[in-house]
Amino acid sequence: MPDLVANREIMTTHQIDIDVEPAQIVWSKRELEVDERKDGLRAQAKAEFKAVVDAEVAKETDQYPETQYDAAVVDAARVVFEARMDDIAAATTHEAVDAL
């Protein structure tokens, strides 16, 4: 296995070197692009927001009549989500993504 720089490189393909005894698997690696890392952060932020919305919507169909959808909770989660997405969009370097 190659040495990888955390959050900066990933393993890709491998080859089997049969010219040595015993045969060895030789892994390749490549650098992660900043946008790839940002895509992961965006997906995480969307999932967190969706979880809040789903929890609130579930209150409308659960067995307890006293639980109701709370629009204020969803709105607060939306504000956090939008701020997070703005922060992610503003990141242009690996260091800036690391800071998130």
Reported as a single tens digit per residue, the pLDDT across 23-74 is 989 999 898 899 999 999 999 999 999 999 999 999 888 888 888 888 999 9
pLDDT of residue 62: 81
pLDDT of residue 1: 77
With bands split at pLDDT 50, 70 and 90, how would you rate the model's confidence at 80? very high
Query: If you write DSSP's letter for every residue of 59-71 in order, what string do you get?
Result: HHHSS-TT----H
Q: How far apart are CA 81 and CA 67, in angstroms?
A: 24
pTM, to two decimals: 0.72
How far is CA 13 from each of CA 43, 52, 68, rounded to the nearest angstrom?
25, 38, 51
Q: How far apart are CA 45 and CA 52, in angstroms?
A: 11
